Structure 1
Amino acid sequence: MQTKTIGLLGGIGWASTAEYYRIINESIVAREGDGHSARIVLHSMDQHDFTSRAGDPQAIVPFLAAQVARLKEGGADFFLFCANGAHRFVPALLPLVDLPFVSIVDATAARVQASGLRKVGLLGVKQTMAGSFYHERLAAHGIETITPSPAEQDEVHDIIYRELVHNRITDASRGRFVGIIGRLALDGAQGCILGCTEIPLLVGQGDVAIPVFDTTRIHCEAAVALALDKHR
């Protein structure tokens, strides 16, 4: 039986979407051996098409449903958003699409729960840090989520949109993220969720003292597990 075809809805932004393609294929090779690669249908949106509609649920949800339909037409067996923030639209979107969905939030929550940590920091764009979708999912597992101060949330959000989505990586911004994670640790965070798929481009486990949860990699691993399910 052949592997399932993974549908990737990307472009928000392109740099992290490229990481999805790389990590998924590396994971397939690691599990299936050289000579194999992932079956992937990738639909990369123009980031402006997403951001210009994101403030209007009546515009963004039908737009996203149309993009998912393209993945299904291309042969995808299930789909992923290559972004954390877009998951805030999932409850309204899923009733409009006919394709199974792999949630970055669910995959990350399961990984945090398995780690045994009870209090974690959350970094991402403002809509992710201030929104309920991560906080509620983790709270259901008895895990408390904390976020940086409002000023630091502004800084994190700005670095993501001014630099990381354009694949601009600087030591200065890395230092700022490391400092913010350090302050979350002082506030009791036992680990930190890198809740934007661009953040792992900037900072990783080797940069900080507490465990970090790379949501890009976690999401890719969940996709590979489903793609290979019942493969053998």
Structure 2
Amino acid sequence: MAGGSHRIICTLLFTRIDVQHKTIGLIGGIGWASTLEYYRLINEMLVARIGPAHSARIMLVSIDQADFVAHAAQPDPRAIEQFLVAEGQRLQGMGADFFLLCANGAHRFAPAVVPRIGLPFISIVEETAKKVQQAGVRKVGLLGVKQTMAGRFYHDALEQRGIATVTPDAADQDILHDLIYTELVQNILTEAGRKIFLDVMEKLRRQGVQGVILGCTEIPLLIRQGDVDMPLFNTTAIHCAAAVAFAVED
């Protein structure tokens, strides 16, 4: 009996039991449908790690998409930067231990915004670039809103890892951008929209890409890995997994 108790104690001592040490902060609402997906995925991933009796400690600041777009459209970049800084500081005041921007395109403002918030930051761009590198992909397609496809923030992060980035041509970028804003951010998911994305991905495949980054957090609501025969990098899921891993670290 004593030996059995000793074995149980040793097992408990040397078995890692994950707990959520840090409260997750989310700046979301830029697209409410994908913010909903963040909440679902984070909870499912956390429960898978620490058990079904739990749910995630999350602080969410849900911003109005119209406010974000209006500030981002100002000629002075300080307008959108201060807007996002204020939202991040609200998260800090609510007790978040670190934060995420629940939108790929918003990460173009991260270099100017993150240092002014004073919380650790989980970058969707860096986490996705790591996954592409780990997959051994050397040439990757990038889909998203125009600011993501035409911007440098993804290209630079991937280039630093020796990965070439291919984006759709200007006409297809316009089509995808409009589809994201008129349908996906409103949680309107259609077969016609899916076909548009798949046709663009097929064009990228013909250009030699070995995988595609779904670089808008709404795209994975419509496009799934089973739709294509090359690796897809679901930035929403990648971001959520990184957040959960950081939340359970001591």
TM-score range, shorter chain: over 0.9
Say yes or no: does 1:107 pair with 2:127. Answer: yes
Aligned counterparts of 1:139 and 1:200: Cα–Cα separation in 2: 24
User: Conserved in 2, the CA contact under 8 Å of 1:205 and 1:211?
Assistant: yes
Letter in 1 for 2:248: L
Say yes or no: does 1:120 pair with 2:128. Answer: no
Instruction: Please state whether the residue corresponding to 1:122 is helix, strand or coil.
Output: strand
Letter in 2 for 1:181: M
In structure 1, the residue matched to 2:160 is: 140
Instruction: Please state whether the residue corresponding to 2:203 is helix, strand or coil.
Output: helix
User: Structure 1 residue aligned with 2:52, among 20, 34, 38?
Assistant: 34
Cα deviation, residue 70, structure 1 = 0.7
User: Conserved in 2, the CA contact under 8 Å of 1:5 and 1:78?
Assistant: yes
Say yes or no: does 1:12 pair with 2:30. Answer: yes
Aligned counterparts of 2:242 and 2:73: Cα–Cα separation in 1: 29
Cα deviation, residue 95, structure 1 = 2.6
Query: What are the ranges of 5 or more consecutive residues in structure 1 without an aligned counterpart?
Result: none
In structure 2, the residue matched to 1:189 is: 209
Q: Could you state the TM-score of these two structures normalised by the residue count of structure 1?
A: 0.98
In structure 2, the residue matched to 1:153 is: 173
Aligned counterparts of 2:73 and 2:81: Cα–Cα separation in 1: 11
Cα deviation, residue 2, structure 1 = 4.7
User: Conserved in 1, the CA contact under 8 Å of 2:20 and 2:247?
Assistant: no
In structure 2, the residue matched to 1:22 is: 40
Percent identical across equivalent pairs? 61
Q: Could you state the TM-score of these two structures normalised by the residue count of structure 2?
A: 0.91
User: Conserved in 1, the CA contact under 8 Å of 2:58 and 2:96?
Assistant: yes
Tell me: CA distance 1:201–1:2, structure 2 relative to 1, closer, same or farther (3 Å): closer
How many residue pairs were aligned?
230
User: Structure 1 residue aligned with 2:220, among 200, 215, 231?
Assistant: 200
User: Conserved in 2, the CA contact under 8 Å of 1:3 and 1:39?
Assistant: no
Moved over 4 A (4+): none
Aligned counterparts of 2:135 and 2:229: Cα–Cα separation in 1: 16
Aligned counterparts of 1:50 and 1:202: Cα–Cα separation in 2: 23
